[in-house]
Structure 1
Amino acid sequence: MAPDRSRTRLRSILAGSAGNTVETFDWFVYAAFTLYFAKVFFPAGDRTAQLLSAAAVFAVGFLARPVGAWLMGLYADRVGRRAAMTLSISLMCAGSLIIGLAPGYDRIGVAAPILLTAARILQGLSMGGEYGTSATYMAEMASRHNRGFWSGIFYTTLIAGQLLATGTLIALQALLSPEDLQAWGWRIPFFIGGGLAVLVFWLRRTMHETPAFTGKSEDRATTWKLIVRHPRESLIVMGLTAGGTLGYYTFTTYIQKFLVNTSGFSKTDATWMTAVGLVVFMAVNPLLGALSDRIGRRPILIAFGIAGTLLTWPLLSTLARTHEIAPALALTCAGMVLVAFYSSVNGVVKAELFPAEIRALGVALPYSFANALFGGSAEAVGLWFKHRGMESGFYTYVTAVIAASLVVYVLMPDTRKTSRILED
């Protein structure tokens, strides 16, 4: 490959990745700061009830993701990957600024949680379109020999946004008193996210379109064509996503609240442990992605399915009884490494299943349905079991869904060998 083309490809991938980081930062700031602003929008009830209400809004944002995936996927397949990615960052910016400016329940009553929900719907539309389009863009821009590695990098950039959200929380916990953080400090990261989104909007306008899109057939992407022509591929995406996304949100997002609400750690300690776990998670993803370029995607996914089925219950039940930082940190990191076997390759696997003319929609829409059902509800389900005094039921639930996905991993083709991305 010519040096100029290699530089253009790398620059475009990195520009897209910067957008992933900012989008994920804006999305996960909500989860990271829920412990502080839940009372602002939902003042009634005990801490678990407030967290449950805030988690329900988090889940509502996920319900908007299939709509965003549908609209943005069609837009990306018809107009271009770059155009869709630029639009998605604009929606995320708007949602973040609305949350940052929203008055609390004490000032505008029930309108406060309604405004919060509306902002999360905007962000859900953005994230629904962002994942499918950016995963498609990454897979189409990378060469066939290192797509797995770049898939790992892709997820690393997503995790980086989540880690930055956690790091922002750590910094504000150090700089502000708990009272100030709960009163107004939680708004700061939403303003940061909105400002960064403006910068990414400019960067994405300078990105190159992928050769796969510019060289695709003139066959117009429609939802009906996805359903009729690619039902098997769509079901594979939903099946492989279900267990992975539930494991992901359990061990990278809900785990912070689990450490506080179940294990009994302070908010600060729980945040630090989550941050360290995310650093480990980031480091492992590219390594497993690169391994998939050598041995295939399917063995990596099967490893996640087997480990998740066997280890989820022991990890969570032991962590629930652990009250010392060192073993709790080890268990938290172990859970995230387990999930990395899914996250490192799932983006490229989905893209490799579909032809270029319907790839963005095919990646985004089935993924978003599964993500809304299993990933977005993870916190709400976990807190519901906790509220009912049946927390071990949540461990069983996560284990069962991962086991169901394992069946998909065993039966699906290895997309490294059957990839429908023809361009190198």
Structure 2
Amino acid sequence: MTSTDHVANGHDQPPGAPPGSSARQLAAASVGNAAEWYDWYAYSFLAVYIADQVFPESTSNSLVPLLATFAVFAVGFFMRPIGGLLMGAVADRHGRRAALTATILLMGAGSLLVALTPTYHAVGVLAPVVLVIARLVQGLSVGGEFAASTTFLVESAGPGRRGLFSSFQYISTTVGQLIASGVAALLVLLLADDRMNEWGWRVPFLIGALFSLVGLWIRRGAHETRPAEQRAGTRPGLFEALRRHPRESLLICGITAGGTIAYYTWTTYLPTYAQVNANFDKGDALVVSTLSLAFFALLQPLGGMLSDRIGRKPLLLFFALGFAALVVPLLDSVTDTFASLLLVQCAGMILLTGYTSVAAAVNAEIFPARVRAAGIGFPYSLTVALFGGTAPYVGTWFKEAGHAGGFPWYVAGLCLVSACFYLILPETAKGPLKG
């Protein structure tokens, strides 16, 4: 059996890796990924402060700055398909480690630019322009990060461990988000509102730029998982995955739609939803988010290991059907009490784990190694941009339009669409990765 066969089948370490290097591979992917997502999510947690400083307030509607801030959040998401395609192509042509290096450098640069964004009062319209540029750079980075790190993680796994390794994608994502939420909550508790609005919101982005440098240093020790035979052979074209694997590309979109809207609603938008719809305290909302994210991170390896035993489909259907049935009553039950929001958020996290713990493995198991990163990156990131990135904006828009109760039904509908795809999805847990 060749080294290509070994890696494709998940029965060996990456080429050139010493025995027992699994922990090193996990650290290289996870720490860098946590740094990436810390930078990305710090923006959403601090949206209410950024809105006050970067966007002018409408005299007739106090939600206008917040809507504008979430619109920039969505704009960053629309760079993700480009990042998924370009960085995925880098990973397929030059190796996964090269792509992981590029993505974390881009994220650090974007985070630094957010920290240095001037206020609207100081420079006028230039302020939101700088913020948009920073989010475009970060969107390019995040789109490429998922493609490269997903492929890297699953290809690094040994036999019967792809689900477990897959779960580290969202473990590290959640850790990054948890740190961002914790830093934001700590600043809110320590600083008066005027100081938080003036300069406190910039601090997490400066920390994020330093965090990215730490991730870059750790990734330098990672071992390449793309087989040497493929690196030496003909390089795949930029659109080869879409052209030669259209069914698989469509399948990625269907798998992702419900998962991404549920994920961004529960892990990103829910604190703001509680503030806007139930007059929930801003500081308490960040504390609840931090606690529920810690709970969520602990669930991920359990879901990944369970999928290695019983398969990916049962967990995916548990997520989609459970969310479709319960999202409306869960969101309707959010009140201005601490306990209600914490219970609602943790209940959703349990359901969401059915998707997040296996998403990386499912995506990687669909495409062959030659185009795996780009094949995952573009359709996944496009779907996330369309449904996940717009979730905070759509939810706020429903509220502004006077139909706040319509947003939970929107989430439920997308989860049902994904459930249909999960039903036709072939079970891939026990088979080898495609070579």
Structure 1 residues 11, 393: closer, same or farther in 2, change over 3 A?
same
Alignment correspondent of 2:6:
none
- For each residue in 1:177-228, what CA deviation from the matched residue of structure 2 results, as whole angstroms up to 9, or x when unmatched? 1110111000001000001111222221221101x43243724222432123
Secondary structure at the counterpart of residue 414 of structure 1: coil
Which residues in structure 2 correspond to 1:366-405 (within 5 Å)?
366-405=379-418
Distance 2:227 2:104 in 1: 20
Change (3 A) 1:10 1:421: farther
For residue 264 of structure 1, report the CA deviation from its aligned partner.
Answer: 1.4
Report the equivalent of 1:26: 39
SS at match of 1:208: coil
Taking structure 1 as reference, are residues 316 and 131 closer, same or farther at Cα in structure 2, changes over 3 Å only?
same
1:213 is matched with which residue? 227
- SS in structure 2 opposite 1:397? helix
> After the TM superposition, which residues 207-356 of structure 1 pair with which residues of structure 2 at under 5 Å, given as runs?
207-210=222-225, 212-216=226-230, 218-319=233-334, 322-356=335-369
**Shift, 1:327, TM fit:** 2.4
In the alignment, the residues of structure 2 paired with residue 224 and residue 386 of structure 1 have an alpha-carbon distance, to the nearest angstrom, of: 40
Range with greater deviation from structure 2 (271-280 or 4-13): 4-13
The percent of aligned pairs where both chains have the same amino acid is 43
The answer to whether the 8 A contact 2:160-2:430 is kept is: no
Alpha carbons of 1:219 and 1:355: their partners in 2 closer, same or farther (altered >3 Å)?
A: farther
User: Which residue type is aligned with residue 302 of structure 2?
Assistant: L
Distance 2:196 2:48 in 1: 10
Matched residue of 2:223: which SS?
Answer: coil
- Structure 1 residue matching 2:224: 3-state secondary structure: coil
Distance apart, 1:418 and its partner CA: 4.1
In structure 1, what is the equivalent of residue 430 of structure 2? Answer: 417
Q: Compute the displacement of 1:38 (Å).
A: 0.8
**Which 5+ residue runs of structure 1 have no aligned equivalent?**
none
CA distance, structure 1, for counterparts of residue 165 and residue 213 of structure 2: 25
Is residue 96–residue 123 contact of structure 1 (8 Å, CA) maintained in 2? yes
Look up the match of 1:94.
109
Query: Scaled by the length of structure 1, what TM-score is found?
Result: 0.96
Match of 2:166 among 117, 131, 151: 151
| Unpaired segments ≥5 residues, structure 2 | 1-11
Of 11-20 and 199-208, the range deviating more from structure 2: 199-208
Letter in 2 for 1:363: I
Of residues 12, 33, 37 in structure 1, which corresponds to 2:25?
12
Distance in 2, matches of 1:151 and 1:250, equals 22
Asked if 2 retains the 8 angstrom alpha-carbon contact of 1:219 and 1:357, the reply is no
Q: Deviations over 1:149-196 (max 9, x none)?
A: 111122111000000000001111122111101110000010000011
CA distance, structure 2, for counterparts of residue 40 and residue 304 of structure 1 = 38
Which residue type is aligned with residue 336 of structure 2? Answer: H
Moved more, 43-52 or 22-31: 43-52
Once the two structures are superposed, residues 372-412 of structure 1 have per-residue CA deviations (whole angstroms, 9 ceiling, x without a partner) of 00000000100100110101111111110110000000011
Tell me which residue corresponds to 1:105.
120
Q: Which amino acid aligns with 1:301?
A: L
Judge conservation of contact 2:42–2:205 (CA < 8 Å) in 1: yes
What letter is aligned with 1:317?
Answer: D
Structure number with higher helix proportion: 1
Aligned with 1:374: secondary structure? helix
- Equivalent of residue 131 in structure 2, options 116, 121, 125: 116
Q: Which is further off, 196-205 or 373-382?
A: 196-205
Q: Is the 8 A contact 1:77 1:213 kept in 2?
A: no
2:419 counterpart (403, 406, 410)? 406
Structure 2 residue 197 is the aligned partner of structure 1 residue 182: yes
| Cα deviation, residue 337, structure 1 | 1.6
Whether the 8 Å contact between 2:115 and 2:203 is mirrored in structure 1 is yes
Give, in whole Å, the separation in 2 of the partners of 1:419 and 1:162.
Answer: 32
Q: Which has the larger displacement, 174-183 or 215-224?
A: 215-224
SS in structure 1 at match of 2:118: coil
Count of aligned pairs: 418
Residue in structure 2 matched with residue 169 of structure 1 by the alignment: 184
- What CA distance in whole angstroms lies between the structure 2 residues aligned with 1:401 and 1:219? 39
Q: Is the 8 A contact 2:191 2:200 kept in 1?
A: yes
Cα RMSD for the two superposed structures: 1.4
